[in-house]
Amino acid sequence: ETASIAILPGDGIGPEVMNEAVLLLQEIEDYDRTFSCEMNEFPWNSAYYLEHGRMMPADGLAQLRSFDAILFGAMGDSSVPDEVTVWDFIMPIRKQFQQYINFRPVKKLEGIRSPLAESEDVDFVIIRENAEGEYSNSGGRLYDHTNEAMAIQNTIMTEKGIRRAADFAFQYAKEHGLPVTSATKSNAVIHSMKFWDEVVQKTAEAFPEIALEKIYVDALAAYFVQRPQSFGVVLASNLFGDILSDLGSALVGGLGISPSGNLNPSGDYPSMFEPVHGSAPDIAGQGIANPIAQIWSAALMLDHLGRKDLHDMVVTAIEKTLAEGYRTKDLGGEHSTKEMGEAIRANVRKQ
């Protein structure tokens, strides 16, 4: 059957890299007769906001609801405050569609050098709890009788929230034959992180064949650099996962090649796939952005739609393109966005 995909290019380099991802999906349709997709593009971005006073129409979420998946570029422009784009666009999508897993592959592609990780063999995934935890709007400011201020920021962790994230991590580990590492800090954060440890441990009981280690997040950050090859699945809370993900991205070559998925594992709502990077206003409009993160995000989407074969084919095409010497500026080369995109499509055709 035909997969329906909502395309949200966004701002800055978003439309530039999205263009290459859309051309790639069209190429795959031509190449593989068993795959077909229908793409609908939505012009919701900062320019739309300036014209209409909102990031998307009132029924925007209802419009997206019916799609099988959402492919997003990046959002952000100096003309609109960043908290508007985040809280009126990205957050409502993640929340409404219960995208409670943030999925980030940390895989060193052949031909990418990283000053942080010398080992060639870096290939793990970070599974970050994406819906609750440290990122809550519970809290506020209090003032004492001398008007000295105090800020309180509450972490909210529910048994259900932790369990479903842990369960996803263990399922993934089981399918791929990997160990699980849980990032914690229960020695110092004694209420929420102790609870996290307990629920993760309890969830692990259903997966006796999967090795589980619990590592304090500060030490884990060091181990990411010292022995990245030892990890399989890293399970982390919202804040810890956010920080570890950017370190992971730096380990394997940077923002230009880092993809992500915001997943609703139940399949009740569409999942959303997006590069880790933002709209990169400093290089927007020059045609030099690296399209790999966006194309790889599209590959994660294909995997989510049940086509792991097509995901693997795209990743192989990216690796072949790098092996041929194609490099955009962020990777130390001079190839344009379009040249990189076209070379990856050529390598899809050759497979």
| Closer residue to ligand NAI (CB): 122 or 288 | 288
Residue 280's binding partner out of ligand NAI, Mg ion, none, with CB under 5 to 8 Å set by partner kind: ligand NAI
289 binds, among ligand NAI, Mg ion, none (CB under 5 to 8 A by kind): ligand NAI
Q: Of 166, 280, 299, 310, which one interacts with ligand NAI (CB under 6 A)?
A: 280
Give the 3-state secondary structure of residue 140.
Answer: strand
Name the minimum Å distance from CB 280 to ligand NAI. 4
290 interacts with ligand NAI by CB under 6 A: yes
Q: Which of 11, 242, 274, 303 binds Mg ion (CB under 5 A)?
A: 242
Q: Which of 6, 25, 74, 109 binds ligand NAI (CB under 6 A)?
A: 74
d(Cα 231, Cα 182) in Å, to the nearest integer? 11
Q: Which is nearer to ligand NAI, 45 or 184 (CB)?
A: 45
Window 219-278: residues binding ligand NAI (CB under 6 A): 255-256, 274, 277-278
Minimum CB distance to ligand NAI smaller for 93 or for 162: 93
Q: Which amino acid is at 322?
A: L
Quick one: tokens of 220?
């884990």
User: Tokens for 5?
Assistant: 């995909």
In the block, tokens 């400093």 appear at 282
Contact between 37 and 29 (Cβ < 8 Å)? yes
Burial pattern 61-73, b for ≥16 Cβ within 10 A else e, equals: eeebeebbbbbbb
Interface with ligand NAI by CB under 6 A: which range of 49-57, 69-77, 120-128, 303-311? 69-77
> Per CB under 6 A, which region of 32-40, 183-191, 237-245, 283-291 contacts ligand NAI?
283-291
The region of 9-17, 21-29, 237-245, 328-336 touching Mg ion under the rule CB under 5 A is 237-245
Contact partner at residue 242 from ligand NAI, Mg ion, none, CB < 5 to 8 Å by partner kind = Mg ion
For 332, the token pair is: 């130390």
Residue 316 — φ and ψ, nearest 5°? -60, -40
Strands (E), the chain: 2-10, 36-41, 69-74, 101-107, 123-129, 139-143, 149-153, 180-184, 212-216, 233-236, 259-263, 271-275
Indicate which single residue of 205, 209, 268, 282 sits in contact with ligand NAI (rule: CB under 6 A). 282
Q: How far is the CB of 191 from Mg ion (least distance, A)?
A: 25
What pairing do the DSSP bridges indicate for beta strands 2-10 and 36-41?
Answer: parallel
Supply the DSSP symbol for 87: I
CA 179, CA 38: separation in Å to the nearest integer?
37
Q: Which is nearer to ligand NAI, 78 or 201 (CB)?
A: 78
Residue 330 found at the interface with Mg ion (CB under 5 A): no
Query: For 218-270, where are the E strands, in sequence order?
Result: 233-236, 259-263
Choose the one of Mg ion, ligand NAI, none that binds residue 279, judging by a C-beta under 5 to 8 angstroms depending on kind.
ligand NAI
Q: How far is CA 328 from CA 28, 75, 153, 235, 339, in A?
A: 23, 21, 41, 32, 9
Site size toward Mg ion (CB under 5 A) is 1
If binding means CB under 6 A, how many residues of this protein chain bind ligand NAI? Answer: 21
Q: What is the DSSP letter of 267?
A: S
Q: Which two tokens stand for residue 265?
A: 């594992």
Site residues (vs ligand NAI, CB under 6 A): 13, 17, 74-76, 82, 90, 255-256, 274, 277-283, 289-290, 293, 330
